Chains A and B, each alone.
Chain A
Amino acid sequence: MEHGDVNVVYTVEHQLPLIMYIGQYFFFTGLSAGSFVISVIATLLGRKEFKPIGKITAILAPILLVVAPLNLIADLEQPLRFWHLMVYYNWTSPITYGSFLLTAYPIVGIIYAFMVYTDRQTPAKVLGILGIPLAISVHGYTGFILALAKARSLWNTAAMPTIFIISAMVSGIGLVVIIAAIRLKWFNKEASPETREQDKRLILQLAQFMAYTIMMDLFLIVSDVLVLLTAHSDALEAGMLILTGNFAPLFVGVEIILGAIIPMILVLGPTRKSLTAVVVASILVNIGVYAMRFVMVIGGQTIPLS
């Protein structure tokens, strides 16, 4: 890159190994982990007005986590050999941690949802506390998948698992807000006005919480980009790729502006009491997180290694 007149006369084109099945998988596990954490917080606080939220999210988490690995299996070139992951595991590979976490977490999640729905508080709380580390690692390990492929400079950062966990919280809360708003609007007509008012207040509170997670997410992204720009030459190239290169419209435009700054203004600004604004913010946030998965997975691989 650094030399003046250099032309590549001949080299081969490389394949793109990880496509958006992987990005989608990251997106869905993120949603699942985010909603599980919200559900457990609601259960642990144990207040009556949190119950509906606790229930929606308890069922959402395992459903999303069934959808997520389907993407992974569809991505395999030999899908019928997926069981090799369990039988021939390799402990140094982050995918192996994943295959065991992806088995344990839905089991805990389903039993937890059962306890929540049958109103058994103590087992639900215990399972919830057990499940939170699982939910966090099921999403955190996906960050390690990228970070441990060390040759890709956009991926190879210790912040990657944390970035994934925080963005999972952002999108998970966003989804919960959307679903809770749908329930309030169309499925909970016969409830008393006080309950409806209470539900609305709860949704607004959740949105505030979402705004704080967006701030954390932005902080992590800024620190990641700053380090990329000042580290070695490959990292600089990765930083420029997402700031001014091919992926700038998606990264700066969709992920940062549309998916983080505008929702934050909608939720914290003068429109903070409006349900519509909060729902729009939640939708934008999910678009932004999806774009983030795209930029990370696809963008990380567009910098040639040969």
Chain B
Amino acid sequence: MAEKRYGMVIDMRRCIACQACSVACKAEMRVPLEVFATWVKIVEKGKYPNAQRFALPRLCNNCGNPICTRNCPTKATYQREDGIVEIDQHRCIGCKYCIASCPYDVRYYNPLKNIVQKCYWCQHRVDAGLLPACVEGCPTRAMIFGDVDDPRSEVSRLLASNATQVLKKEMQTEPFVFYIGADETAMSNVEEEINYFTEPVYFPKVRL
């Protein structure tokens, strides 16, 4: 079998911020309540009447040089030959260090399974020759998935013919989710600081 390196292009010229990818992901991956593997961040810039909304679908970048695999103490997080970063759910001890390490905050702790999970580009579907659920669900075909090493694939053609961006290039993680025409503000940290004094930071229940 030929070498493969999966990648994704998200074309923001087409994205209508409908959240179909978030919903498709929730259903396909059985993502529990309150946590997300894929979501569309939306920011609003300017004042009425000169205001504009910008969206940014977010998911694991399945990085070329991921910090999560480097910092996982048990190698529960590992990278497949084709670039997909996987979590072995029988090996993960739930130390959550990977959540703290990932520069993109795309990992979550699954309270039903007591392990950490994230987007794996639906490797079960990809291995069966299908597309990831979010790509399949996108009504405007803004998400394109494929082999970036194959020059004839649609991702390769888009990458070759467009100006693309990745999130937080300075982290040296080599993200493999490429954006076309993403907004700079939507790409940076514009969220409010979280006030953890109102959150339980001490001793949740001990799980055995």
Contact = CB atoms under 8 A, between A and B. Distances in A.
Given A79-B208, A96-B73, A305-B105, 7 more contacts: A1-B190, A9-B42, A78-B207, A81-B92, A95-B95, A305-B189, A306-B58
A77 interface: yes
Interface of B: 34-36, 39-47, 51, 53, 58, 67, 70-76, 91-97, 99-106, 108-109, 114-116, 168, 171, 185, 188-197, 199-204, 206-208
B73 A11 contact: no
Q: Which bracket fits the contact residues of A?
A: 35 or more
Contacts of B95: 75-77, 95
B41 A80 contact: no
A227 interface: no
Ranked 4 nearest A-B pairs via Cβ: A77-B94, A151-B103, A95-B73, A17-B99
Contacts of A15: 35, 99, 108-109
B86 to A, nearest CB: 14
A145 B101 CA distance: 9
Contacts of A75: 95-96
B189 A84 contact: no
Contacts of A3: 45, 185, 190
Interface stretch (A56-64, A124-132, A277-285, A295-303): A295-303
A10 B42 contact: yes
B105 A93 contact: no
Nearest to B98: A17
Given A15-B99, A151-B103, A306-B105, A85 B44 contact: no
Contacts of A19: 200-204
A304 interface: yes
A185 interface: no
Given A3-B45, A303-B189, A151 B94 contact: no
17 contacts: A5-B44, A5-B46, A7-B43, A9-B42, A9-B44, A13-B194, A15-B99, A77-B93, A77-B95, A92-B70, A96-B73, A145-B97, A150-B67, A151-B67, A246-B193, A246-B197, A304-B193
Contacts of B207: 77-79
Contact of A16 (B51, B53, B71, B201): B201
Contacts of A90: 70, 72-75
A298 B202 contact: no
Contacts of B39: 10-12
A3 B39 CA distance: 23
Interface in A54-73: none
Contacts of A96: 73
A40 B94 CA distance: 36
Contacts of A13: 34, 194
Given A13-B194, A78-B94, A151 B114 contact: no
Which of B74, B116, B185 is the most central at the interface, judged by chain A CB atoms within 10 Å of its CB? Answer: B74
A120 B207 CA distance: 44
B50 to A, nearest CB: 9
A93 B108 CA distance: 19
A14 interface: yes
Contact of B201 (A11, A20, A76, A92): A20
Interface string A131-142: 000000000000
Contacts of A20: 201-203
